[in-house]
Structure 1
Amino acid sequence: MTTIRLGGALGKQFGKIHHRVIRDTREAIRALNATLPGFEKYLNSSKSRGLTYALYVGERNIGEQDLSFPNIGREIRIVPVVIGSKKAGLVQTILGAVLVIASIWMPGLSIAASNLMFSAGAAMTLGGVAQMLSPQPAGLSSKQDAANQASYAFGGVTNTAAQGYPVPLLYGKRRIGGAIISAGIYVEDQQ
């Protein structure tokens, strides 16, 4: 017998705890579809409401490829997640809000310290909210960089350095790809 817990609005509408005899997580979802009227329709229409679902087997969050793995009595949780939500910026937002509140309610702080604390907290809160709302681009590794071609202006060897890596310090003749730290272009008028 496996316990299936439904979270959030899903649990309110269809009940929070269900018990089924199943072999894997995919079968648990099929069993709920067959025994709970409207469950399948609710799941299928949830994307239009801005929801998706996270599946947990025990303490582990599983993906679609893990649905057919055998489940031997471990608890399954189906939790609604707002589409687009992520963890980036959450701690920063909370910490910023705490600083703002502390700057207002802490007795004994000087006006300058209180103003500094309030400003830092407000900036952290706004930065955290901006992180949560904006997409985070993945960094380029040196092999994915489109400009990772042989540069004959800088020695001819392919540049293999990427952002965030240490810069090598060499003496003598260079026979390796270079890390271009700074470069500039300027235009001169021809008269």
Structure 2
Amino acid sequence: MAHPHWPLFDVEARTPTITLRYVDDELSLALADLAASGIHDPSWTPFLHPWTDEAPQDFGRKAMQFHWRCRAELAPEHWSLNFAVLVDDEVVGSTGLNADKFVVQRTFETGSWLGQAFQGKGIGKEMRAASLHIGFAGLGAQEATTSAFEDNAPSLGVTRSLGYEPNGFQRVQRRDELGIIHAFRMPRPHWESIRRDDIELTGVDAVLPILGL
């Protein structure tokens, strides 16, 4: 084990085309630089909490604070596992798994983003598949959830292509306007029906005790 005191740093998920690697400080800074280069048209935001509205010069500090906070607050009752997405060792985006009371509920939520230069290349679906593999195969989940604004066509396209079930919608304030978020769920039996055999997990077993599993 390379990181006995924080084995999460050893967690990876590999597919034939991408790698998910748990975010350390170096990856956190790389993600901040990528986000500062652009994720979406600034006239619109796909995020409920519009963190990309921050000044680009603040991204580095706030990215570090976010990832430090997620590590500091990690506990069986609530956790956020954040991963950098790499293609040929280049950081192209980020994906996260979040859960409350997972030991009992066995449900996790995913969220992700890609740098603009890497969108439209099929990476989004591949990173979602890898995230689902971590949650279901690695952590023993029984359900995965996700959500997206109704005008976030790429995210909704990935979700629907994987066969998620609609799970209601929510009216929220996005910036200063009304936004509609569509929610989705994937029960474990459906994931089993689309489970891939070409995704490899590394380091997950050492993390299970930290998550109460």
TM category, shorter: under 0.3
* Higher RCO (CA-CA < 8 Å; seq separation 6+): 2
Q: What TM-score comes out, normalization by structure 1 length? A: 0.23
Provide TM-score, normalisation by structure 2: 0.21
Q: In proportion to residue count, which structure has more strand?
A: 2
Larger radius of gyration: 1
